Each structure stands twice: as structure tokens, then as C-alpha cells.
Structure 1
Amino acid sequence: MKTRLIVSVSLAGLLATACGGPRAFTRGTYEDPNTIEMLSDQFNENDLQLIAKKMVNSLAASPRFSQPGGPQLPVVLVGRLKNKTSEHIDMASLGDKIQTGLAQTGRFALLDKAAREDLAEEYEYQQSGYVRPDSAKGPGEQASADYLLTGELASIIQQVGNDKLVYYKMTVKLNNVRTGIVEWTDEKEIRKKFERKPISW
């Protein structure tokens, strides 16, 4: 009798878990990554895309860089993009998005900050004797950055009653490495409004 009771209780627990417990996402479809959807009041991929697009277009259209300046492209290093908001935001992805956009304009040569350690390791290997000396590469021949791109993302959140306003401002600057002069700067503002609706049972 006790064994039958234990089995019954176990089955009831399994059924309750299956009916009311958390469910896994088992079916999905591909979506256009450019489709704007706001499932929460957090920073999302649409915000990232809007910021990157604005900065790339603005820099490429600026008087300093809108016309080809000869066979030597300006060399740009995408530096630190600071997150001054209270959210966890992948600023490296934003930097990669801006870097990719600048490269696709054909007006800039880009240096990859993250690849420098890998390059240093590769130099050591090529100088180790495993590579033909006449084809081995070594330090001292890398291109240097003409410009350093930096930026800062800030936010202001206002909430009154059921209304919530989320404001983001991304400011990006392009500094001349030789002189320290800011050759270009721009900002992108994003303002979103959310309304909390009562839950109906």
C-alpha cells in the first residue's frame, strides 16, 4: 500500500511539472535582424544597430573624410567604448559593428586591437626557426593608427506611475593620434517610452 502511494504521488508530481512548470523553447523561426521589436525596456540589438549606422554614416560623410585622400587610406583603431549606463551592455559588439561598417565604406583602413596579442604570438612562432627565414614576418612593420575612435554610452531613466521613459545617448569621437585633436565627433540619441499594463486574470 505504501509503495502504491509513493508511485501515485510521484506520478502526480510529474504531471504537475509537465502541465504547469517551465517549458523549453522548442520551435523557432528566422527573423530579419533589422526588424524593430522591443520585448523589454533594456538596451537591445536594434539600439546597437541604430547607433552603429549613425556613426558610420556620419563619419564617412564628414568633410574631413568624405573625399578620397589619395592612395593611403586613413588608419583607424576602434578603441574603448565606455558603458556609463546601469545595464550590462556588450560594448565590444558595438565596436565590432562600427568597425565593420567603416571597413565596408572603403574609405578607411582598420586596425584590430584585439588581434594584437595574437599577432605578437605569431611573430614569436615565425621567428622560432619553424618558418623559412626569407618568408618569416617579425615585429616592426605594422601600420600605426592615424586616428583613435572612442566613445561613451549614457542613459537617463524616468518612471512615473505606469509610464517609463528610457533615454540613451552615444557620443563618439575620432582623435588624431599625432596631435590629439578631435577631428570628428557625433552623437546618437534614442528615446523609448513604455507603458505598464495591468495583468488581467
Structure 2
Amino acid sequence: MKNLLLITLMLSLFSCGGFQAQRVSGDESDEKSLEITDAWVTRDTENAVEDILKKMNDHRGFKNYRLKLGRRPKVFIADFGNQTAEPYFPVDDISDEFLTQISETGEFILIDAAARESLLKEIQYQNDGMVSPAEAKKIGNAAGADIMIFGNVRMNPRKRNGKTLKEYTVNLRMTDISRGVEVMRTRTRVNKYSEQSKVGW
């Protein structure tokens, strides 16, 4: 009888003691994610978009464009394209985060969401994430926009002896619709390193 009680107690402890959860901050979550995955995570998205916006703000060509325009530019932002080899790469999260952060700056007038979705369906852009100048002007004029922004994400993986380095680049280009010329282009990089042990992760 004692043995049966002891076995029951041990099974109970094993079944209850195998899982723990706790709420953590974004920074803690990012650090812990590196212990279990080398995939792109939410903090990567936030950091990449923050860096892109900082580079936009510091870009001389864009500063000159805004100075000449003399008002807040009206912007049409296309969804970011996924040019990685990862079919489930969260590119929609990057698009949403970029729209959110650029809206929070208060420095741009964004095209209405419904009009944006309608126009996005008409866009047939090339692999480099750009439409032809004629098509850009047509779409931009239909939206009443001053500039159009297109972006994409690429990834170059390198592997050797169980070690992997994923080099992501988030690229952005901005086009002046009335002139059909590029106002600026910028990019940010995110490197993800992982190492697989002989007995697994």
C-alpha cells in the first residue's frame, strides 16, 4: 500500500512539475526566445522598424523633400514583400508595425485604410518591391498621395558545422509621385546566430 501511495505521489509531481509560465517584459522575452529559436520574433520587428524610421528622419534627401513640400506629406504605404526563403516569415507584422509607428509620429498623413486596401489589390510590383514610374503615378494620383513607400525583407542564410547565421535585410524605398523619382532608400540589418549541439538544441 505504501509503495502504491509513493508511486501515485511521484506520478502526480512529475505531471504537474513539467511546465512553468511567467509574464516577462519585451526585452526578457527577446532574450529567452534566443534560447529556443533562431526565427524572426516580435522584438526583431520592433527594432527593425524603429531603425528604419530613425534613418528616414536622418535622411538628407527626405529632409530636403519635406522642406520643399512645406507641409505634412500624404503617404501611400504598400505592404512589405517577403523575399526570404521562409514562407511563414511574419512580413505582415512588419507592415502593421511600420504603419503603426509612422502614424504615431504625427508627421505624415496616411491614406485611408479602405482606399489603401483597394489600391493594394491593383499593384503588381516587381521583385525589387517597386512599381513602374507610370504605374506608381497612376496609383498615387488615385489615392491623392504625395509619396509612395514600398518595402521588402530578404534573408541570406549561412551554415557550417551546425552553426547558422541568418542575415536579414529590411529594405525601404520612397517615390515622389508627381515627378516619378526616388526620394530616398534605406535599409536595416538583423543577424540571427544559432548553434546546434551534437545532442540537439
Smaller-chain TM-score bracket = 0.5 to 0.7
CA distance in 2, matches of 1:102, 1:96: 10
CA distance in 2, matches of 1:199, 1:190: 28
Corresponding position of 1:182: 182
Q: Does 1:145 align with 2:145?
A: yes
CA distance in 2, matches of 1:118, 1:106: 21
Tell me which amino acid in the other structure corresponds to 1:86.
A
Q: Root-mean-square deviation (CA), in Å?
A: 3.5
Residue 116 of structure 1: how far off its partner (Å) = 2.7
Corresponding position of 1:82: 81
Q: Does 1:155 align with 2:155?
A: yes
**Is the alpha carbon distance of 1:184 and 1:143 closer, same or farther for their aligned partners in structure 2, counting shifts above 3 Å?**
same
Give yes or no for contact 2:76–2:143 (8 Å, CA) kept in 1.
no
Give yes or no for contact 2:62–2:183 (8 Å, CA) kept in 1.
no
Selected match of 2:46 from 45, 49, 58? 49
Pick the structure with more helix per residue.
2
Pairs within 5 Å for 1:30-49:
30-32=24-26, 36-37=30-31, 38=34, 39-49=36-46
Pairs within 5 Å for 1:7-156:
27-32=21-26, 36-37=30-31, 38=34, 39-66=36-63, 69=67, 72-87=71-86, 88-113=88-113, 115-116=114-115, 144-156=144-156
CA distance in 2, matches of 1:34, 1:100: 23
CA distance in 1, matches of 2:147, 2:101: 16
Residue 112 of structure 1: how far off its partner (Å) = 4.2
CA distance in 1, matches of 2:153, 2:76: 18
TM-score, length-scaled by structure 1: 0.66
Q: Bigger radius of gyration, 1 or 2?
A: 1
Corresponding position of 2:121: none
**Is the alpha carbon distance of 1:47 and 1:160 closer, same or farther for their aligned partners in structure 2, counting shifts above 3 Å?**
same
CA displacement 1:17-45 (0-9 Å, x = unmatched): x957xx776x3314235863223111111
Pairs within 5 Å for 1:158-177:
158-177=158-177
Tell me which amino acid in the other structure corresponds to 1:107.
E
What residue ranges of structure 1 are gaps of 5+ in the alignment?
Answer: 1-11, 120-141
TM-score, length-scaled by structure 2: 0.66
Residue 65 of structure 1: how far off its partner (Å) = 4.1
Residue 180 of structure 1: how far off its partner (Å) = 2.2
**Is the alpha carbon distance of 1:153 and 1:143 closer, same or farther for their aligned partners in structure 2, counting shifts above 3 Å?**
closer
Corresponding position of 2:123: none
CA displacement 1:29-82 (0-9 Å, x = unmatched): 142358632231111112211210111111122224447647631011210311
**SS of 1:41's equivalent?**
coil
Aligned-residue sequence identity (percent) comes to 16
**SS of 1:36's equivalent?**
helix
**SS of 2:60's equivalent?**
coil
CA distance in 2, matches of 1:118, 1:150: 14
**Is the alpha carbon distance of 1:72 and 1:177 closer, same or farther for their aligned partners in structure 2, counting shifts above 3 Å?**
same
Q: Flag the structure with more relative contact order, 1 or 2, with Cα contacts below 8 A and sequence separation at least 6.
A: 2
